[in-house]
Amino acid sequence: MGSAFALNLVSKGNEVHVYNRSKEKLRELISKGAIAHPSPYELGKSVEIVITSLTDQDAVDSVVMGNEGALRGMKKGTLWIEMSTIDPDASIRQAEEAKRAGIDRLDVPVIGNRNMAAEGRLSLLVGGDERVFERDREFLNQLGSTVIYLGKPGSGHKMKLILNLHLGMIGLAFSEAFVLSQKLGFDPNVFVEAFNKTAQKNYFSEVKGPLIAQGDYTPLFTVNMLLKDLTLAENQAT
């Protein structure tokens, strides 16, 4: 997802600096004009806004808070936009550490997929200081078509877990309904069309339904990542 964010920002005329542990993943971005750095620290020194989009909170801690982390290079007043899906408690801790270092931080996890990220059509779930949010709203509008401010630090990550729990459940429910429709003899396209003409239609049925009907299971998200998110949601509930 991070590469898609960067491609979107490059396409809109921003000077984009990038770091990735996998140099192979940087090739396309560099070819589009992005500037690569050998470490998060070097990147942090070079920019006014740092965006992180990583697998989990351990990766975020390593890339930002580590010995060669971006936080050590950031100047006071730098904005850190954290767009990964992580534990809200870790998000709050990171916000506190950033504040002590004089860094402004917003948690901004997203709803959408890589294609939507590359086109700037994501929904952004924002938590953090409202003053910082209002100051940098114009930049956030470049990343997503819908920007929702939810409150204090950690609020964005809390809402992301709630919505991903819902996504997992409706995905499971639609899949079970699809299998039953097959067992009862309906053509896949007939079932999906009928489903999407009723009040039960939803994002999953409208976007994924036609692909499932065609036998197209090209992944835009992994089961392991969804399991990670559902586990985080369960931990928040207990």
Encode pLDDT of 75-109 as tens digits. 999 999 999 999 999 999 999 999 999 999 999 99
Q: Compute the average pLDDT of residues 146-163.
A: 98
Q: Which fold has domain 2-152?
A: Rossmann fold (3.40.50)
**201 in catalytic set:** no
Are the C-beta atoms of 111 and 123 separated by less than 8 Å?
yes
Whether 176 has a pLDDT exceeding 90, the answer reads: yes
Number of CB atoms found within 10 A of residue 163's CB: 16
* pTM reported for the whole predicted model: 0.92
Nearest to 108 by CA among 155, 168, 61: 155
Average pLDDT value for the chain: 95
Domain boundaries, the chain: 2-152, 160-237
Helix/strand/coil for 149: strand
Are the C-beta atoms of 128 and 105 separated by less than 8 Å?
yes
Q: Compute the average pLDDT of residues 15-19.
A: 96
In degrees, rounded to 5, the angle at the alpha carbon of residue 75 between the alpha carbons of residues 72 and 79 is: 100
Q: 160-237 falls under which CATH superfamily? A: N-(1-d-carboxylethyl)-l-norvaline Dehydrogenase; domain 2 (1.10.1040.10)
Give the per-residue pLDDT at 186: 98
Whether 235 has a pLDDT exceeding 90, the answer reads: yes
Pairing of strands 110-111, 122-128: antiparallel
Q: Which of the four pLDDT bands, split at 50, 70 and 90, describes residue 238?
A: confident
Which residue of the set 32, 75, 160, 208 is catalytic?
Answer: 160
With a CB cutoff of 8 Å and minimum separation 6, the contacts of 227 are none
Alpha carbons 180 and 174: distance in angstroms, whole number: 10
